[in-house]
Every structure is written in structure tokens, then in C-alpha cells.
């Protein structure tokens, strides 16, 4: 990614006010290098095997699995998560066992590593000599050089109206029935569909991607216009972990217009840095 400028934020009017995708603002970035794909299970396994690293999900002994993807003994199923009953707390779920203790990575080497926390992503970056992208770096790369476009490929619909599927998102009635019209119920291999104009694969859909920044929905109004690095403190939404939430970008295989329209270039979300779930991974950058 050469040094350059782009307009950051929601130009389509599809954003949620609570996410803070406005105001639109110009951003200048230094040159950086970014992974063409999210980190795969094969890559994460090399890191874990070389270092003996134990992820947050492995340490806590459980992680969040989408209800249709649970593959675990009944005794391991802790039950639905309050407020999001389609997420199930599953003991023994982790990056090596994405559905739970009865699952494995067989056939998933080229799928994105999931059930990795922000802390786990940082540990991988330290081993690889890289870092997480800033939110601004992620958005510029995701846009693929298309100024103000909704998606990495432009503004054409994601849902295959012209017979071409462009990303891995939910089809059908969420959260009960996924038709898998794009070929996937859960994660897809990282080089599925087509890359954007900068050569990035699946910047939207498939898995959420951790960024380096803390999250604050009011940040765009005060952000520096050159190499923004995110706010110094929290999201301003209150709570004992107010200053811990980190940015997630890109949406996932669970995104659907009926409840989540965050599979867009400008869409923002966040979670605490120790959170793990079956639809979040990361890609890395280097200056």
C-alpha cells in the first residue's frame, strides 16, 4: 500500500449512528504492507507450535460458537449468551476446535483462524515481526482504491442478484436457517470469491478482523488527519471496561440485513480484547 490519502467513513448513509461512522473525513497514511488474507489456521498453527502459546479461549476453557455450528458433547454446552441467544458458550471451543471439543481443523487449513482474542492476535504479530492494522489502514486497504464505495468491489449488491456471489455472509432467515447459497454456512477458505483492487481477499464477510485501535464512536470528529492511531482512552459508553474495547472490522459469515449491516468498508464494531468467538480473526501489517 503506497502512501496516500482517502476519505474515511460512511458515504452511503447505511451506517448506524451508535457506531460512529461519521463525519466523513480525509485521512493521509504512510506506506504500509498488509496481508492479502486473514491469518489462516495453518499459519496460526505454525506460531502456536513454535512458541507453545496458549490462547485466551484455551486458558479460560470456553468460547462462543454460533448455535448451528456447535460440535460438542452435551455436557460442554453452557447455554445461550444473554442478549444474543444464537451464540452458545461451549466449553472446549478454541481455535483448534472451532465448533467445540468434538470438532477439529481437518480440512480447514486455509480457513481463517477464529476464537482468537485481540491479545492472541498481538502475540502472533510479535512472533511474526508484524502488527495489527490501524482502523484507518484497514479501511483504506479494504476499499481497494474505490473512493466512497460501499463494498470492496464497488456498490453492486453482495447477494448474488446477478449470479455472482462476492462475499461470505448469511443468506436465509437469521438466525434459524442459512441457505448457504454462497457455498458456506461457517467460514470459507481465505481465497474464496475475488480480491479487491489492492489484492485483498474477503475484507468484508467471512470473519471480523481485529484492529489495533481502541473504539470510540466519537473519534472521527477529533481524529488526526494524518496516520490516526485511535483514541487514547475508552469508548465513552460507560461501564467498568470502558477504555478496553478494541475495533473490529469487516463483518462475518453471520452478517445479514435483518440485524447486522456491518459487512461494508466503513462499518465499525468492537469487543473487549480478551473476547473470543467463532467469527473473528485478524490480518497483519508492517510499515
- Euclidean distance between CA atoms 118 and 132, whole angstroms: 9
| Stretch (H or E) spanning 42 | helix 41-51
CB 153 within 8 A of CB 196: yes
CB 213 within 8 A of CB 20: no
Residue 158: φ, ψ to 5°: -85, -15
Q: Give the residue numbers spanning the domain of 147.
A: 4-286
Q: What is the mean pLDDT of the chain?
A: 94
Q: Give me 48's grid cell.
A: 502456536
pLDDT tens-digit series, residues 183-215:
999 999 999 999 999 999 999 999 999 999 999
pLDDT tens-digit series, residues 167-190:
999 999 999 999 999 999 999 999
pLDDT of residue 162: 85
Give the number of C-alpha atoms closer than 13 A to the C-alpha of residue 207, restricted to the C-beta side. Answer: 31
pLDDT tens-digit series, residues 26-51:
999 999 999 999 999 999 999 999 99
CATH code of residue 234? 3.90.1580.10
Residue 218: φ, ψ to 5°: -95, 5
| Stretch (H or E) spanning 65 | strand 62-66
Entry field: residues in the chain: 287
Residue 63 confidence (pLDDT) above 80: yes
Residue 274 confidence (pLDDT) above 80: yes
pLDDT of residue 186: 98
pLDDT tens-digit series, residues 229-263:
999 875 544 444 556 899 999 999 999 888 788 99
Model pTM above 0.85: yes
Total tally of structural domains belonging to the chain: 1
- Euclidean distance between CA atoms 213 and 232, whole angstroms: 9
Amino acid at each position: 500500500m503506497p502512501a496516500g490519502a482517502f476519505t474515511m467513513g460512511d458515504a452511503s448513509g447505511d451506517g448506524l449512528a451508535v457506531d460512529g461512522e461519521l463525519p466523513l473525513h480525509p485521512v493521509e497514511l504512510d506506506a504500509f504492507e498488509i496481508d492479502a488474507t486473514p491469518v489462516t489456521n495453518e499459519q496460526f498453527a505454525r506460531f502456536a507450535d513454535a512458541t507453545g502459546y496458549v490462547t485466551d479461549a484455551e486458558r479460560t476453557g470456553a468460547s462462543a460458537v454460533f448455535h448451528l455450528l456447535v460440535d460438542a458433547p452435551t455436557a460442554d454446552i453452557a447455554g445461550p449468551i444473554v442478549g444474543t441467544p444464537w451464540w452458545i458458550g461451549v466449553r472446549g471451543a478454541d481455535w483448534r476446535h472451532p465448533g467445540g471439543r468434538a470438532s477439529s481443523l481437518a480440512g480447514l487449513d486455509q480457513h481463517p483462524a477464529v476464537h482468537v482474542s485481540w491479545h492472541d492476535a498481538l502475540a502472533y504479530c510479535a512472533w511474526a515481526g508484524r502488527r495489527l492494522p490501524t482502523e484507518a489502514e484497514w479501511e483504506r486497504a479494504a476499499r481497494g482504491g474505490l473512493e466512497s464505495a460501499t463494498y470492496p468491489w464497488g456498490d453492486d449488491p453482495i447477494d448474488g442478484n446477478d449470479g455472482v456471489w462476492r462475499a461470505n455472509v448469511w443468506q436465509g432467515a437469521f438466525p434459524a436457517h442459512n441457505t448457504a447459497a454462497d457455498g458456506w454456512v461457517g467460514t470459507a477458505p481465505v481465497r474464496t470469491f475475488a480480491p479487491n483492487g489492492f489484492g485483498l481477499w474477503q475484507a468484508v464477510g467471512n470473519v471480523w478482523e481485529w484492529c489495533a485501535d481502541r473504539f470510540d464512536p466519537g473519534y472521527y470528529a477529533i481524529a488526526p488527519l494524518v496516520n490516526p492511531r485511535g483514541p487514547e482512552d475508552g469508548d465513552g459508553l460507560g461501564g467498568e471496561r470502558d477504555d478496553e474495547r478494541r475495533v473490529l472490522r469487516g463483518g462475518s459469515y453471520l452478517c445479514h440485513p435483518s440485524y447486522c449491516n456491518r459487512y461494508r468498508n466503513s462499518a465499525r464494531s468492537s469487543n473487549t480484547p480478551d473476547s473470543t468467538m467463532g467469527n473473528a480473526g485478524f490480518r497483519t501489517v508492517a510499515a
